[in-house]
Amino acid sequence: MTTALPARAPRLRGARALFTTRTGGVSAAPFDALNLARHVGDDDAAVTANREIVAGTVGLPLVFVDQVHSAQVHVLPAPGPVPVMTADALVTGRDDMALAIMVADCMPVLLSDAEAGVIAAAHAGRPGLLAGVLENTVAAMVQLGARPERIEVAVGPSACGSCYEVPQEMADAAAEQLPSVRSRTSWGTPAIDLRAGAVEALGRSGVRAYSIDLDFPCTIEDPAWFSYRRASTTGRFAGVIRRA
């Protein structure tokens, strides 16, 4: 996908998708420059302008949800206005809007079944991942006609397993639910590998591992993206997807 602002564009059949970076917007420091979140203390007019920039790039209005680290999925209704809902994933077969999920270390997960014409965007941090947000997202896509073995996935820029340090008790509790998340930081302390957990969770739902693109940077290591762990007062970037 050709974009008018710096972004990483994964290849998902049946969809146009991108992960926005920090650049290309109008917000002042420490939200510089393409912050898309209203809840972090940025100027509201700047956030509105930034969202309009992204909407102009993808060519459709953006739909956001009120994210709360849950496993709740909102399936967009038939054509018409879409109110802001509390959820951590969006699923639709509509082609008149783009789905947007905001993050700053959590995983922005974009999904597409080209044959069914169904797309989704999910916010998967540690709580949501362990609660089943990805499994619920796939299940909601299936209800609209998707098939797990056809779904292609891009797991965008997020904290990697070598940087996402957690207390030992938290690491143990997470690994009881998703064994693959157990990791160690590059300095030898307990950690969680969210991306490995995403592959395991999606695999439980029938998504094939070779259909999952994980080739994106660590947000803690790469300043091109917002990172809450690197700077607690910061903005949010987004994973955005629309039907092709």
pLDDT digits (tens, 9 = 90+) for 167-188: 999 999 999 999 999 999 999 9
Q: Which of 3, 8, 13, 1 is nearest to 118 (CA)?
A: 13
Domains identified in the chain and CATH numbers: 7-160+194-243 (3.60.140.10)
Q: Write out the H or E segment, with its range, that includes residue 3.
A: none
Burial of 84 (0-12, 13-18, 19+ CB in 10 A): exposed
Q: Which of 81, 93, 107 is nearest to 242 (CA)?
A: 93
- Residue 238 has a pLDDT of 98
Q: Which of 115, 116, 82, 113 is nearest to 99 (CA)?
A: 82
Q: Tell me the helix, strand and coil percentages in the chain, rounded to 5.
A: 25, 25, 50
Whether the pTM exceeds 0.85: the reply is: yes
Q: Report whether 73 contacts 137 (CB < 8 A).
A: yes
Burial of 233 (0-12, 13-18, 19+ CB in 10 A): exposed
- pLDDT tens digit sequence for 233-243: 999 999 999 99
- pLDDT tens digit sequence for 137-158: 999 999 999 999 999 999 999 9
Q: How confident is the model at residue 202 (pLDDT cuts 50, 70, 90)?
A: very high
- Residue 9 has a pLDDT of 87
Burial of 159 (0-12, 13-18, 19+ CB in 10 A): buried
Report how far residue 99's alpha carbon sits from residue 97's, in angstroms, rounded to the nearest whole number: 7
Strands, E assignment, the chain: 7-8, 15-20, 62-63, 73-75, 89-92, 98-103, 107-113, 118-124, 152-155, 182-184, 190-192, 212-213, 237-243
